[in-house]
Amino acid sequence: MAERCAVIAVCGHEAGYGRALEGLVGPGVSVVPSGRELFRSISAHRRRGEETAVVPMTLGRDPGLVADTARTLRALAVGDPAATVLTEPFGTAQHLVGWLRAAAGRVPEDSALLVTAPSGDPFEDAELYRIAALVRRYGRHALVEVAFKGGDPDPAEGVRRCRLLGAQRVTLLPAGFAPPEVPEPAGPAGPLVDRAGPLVSASALRRVLAERVADARRRLRENGDDGIAAGLSAAENHGHSHTHPPGGGHDHDHGHGHHHHGPGHPHPHQHPSADGAGQVIRSIA
């Protein structure tokens, strides 16, 4: 297998269709939205005979991005002279809980948390409420609310709700790749509004990308698995399976198959507990 591998980061709404990753990814990584631009990018690498790894840039709330990417790769795979692999997604909902808990740990305890992300479909938005509930359950902040950029409630409404619940200070906690915009204060009586972030530092983002690519290339080399078959069922099963915490070790056999679990049923060695989220936190510290 060639040493050099072109990397394509394919983006959906969680990454602003690529805008949120500007200046964050390393050289040699192409950032494209899903669909026609992804098709063109892969086709260009194919013509040059280059090995390509495609990373779905979801944080666990957009399984449709994984499935759409897999369908594009499947359409291009026939007669492909160069290897094209679909990696596991950048993150899962379990990773997102850990990243948010790490960010929350740097916010004063007397502040309300407003977990904020780009709006998706109703199921994706409902997933953010579940994630925020886990952040509150295993954190030290009494008030954790949710807001959506381009959705309901928006950040301004989220801050208003926090104020009505007695918050004197509100910290926006980004659950997307781009830091949320801080809404204009409603008046002198409103709470102090601040923003934490970014959710994942540029160095951690590059490290996770490299890990996803390395894992996918090893899976192709050892098992002949290009990741496309597993990716096709991602939306149906609400997420690509068998994802390891960023920076986590691989102390078990990769020869077994991929098994998918719903949001309430994580991978057998991932659990929505304080310890599980702590593994993710320690890996990006």
On the question of pLDDT at 93 being above 70, the answer is yes
pLDDT digits (tens, 9 = 90+) for 230-259: 998 886 745 444 444 444 433 333 333 333
On the question of pLDDT at 188 being above 80, the answer is no
Is residue 240 helix, strand or coil?
coil
pLDDT digits (tens, 9 = 90+) for 150-168: 999 999 999 999 999 999 9
Q: What is the mean pLDDT of residues 193-207?
A: 92
pLDDT digits (tens, 9 = 90+) for 206-222: 999 999 999 999 999 99
Structure tokens that stand for 187 in this block: 């008046």
In this predicted structure, what is the pLDDT of residue 48?
A: 86
pTM of the model: 0.80
Question: What is the chain's mean pLDDT, rounded?
Answer: 82
User: What is the spatial distance between Cα 6 and Cα 91, in angstroms, rounded to a whole number?
Assistant: 20
Q: What is the mean pLDDT of residues 34-52?
A: 90
> Which residues in the chain belong to E strands, given as ranges?
6-11, 29-33, 52-57, 84-86, 112-118, 144-149, 169-174, 192-195
Phi, psi of 263 (to 5 degrees): -60, -25
Cα separation values, 64 from 57, 147, 152, 227, 233, Å: 11, 21, 21, 15, 9
On the question of pLDDT at 282 being above 50, the answer is no
In this predicted structure, what is the pLDDT of residue 233?
A: 83
In this predicted structure, what is the pLDDT of residue 278?
A: 38
Query: Residue 54: beta bridge partners?
Result: 8, 86
Q: How many other C-beta atoms can be found within 10 angstroms of the C-beta atom of residue 276?
A: 19
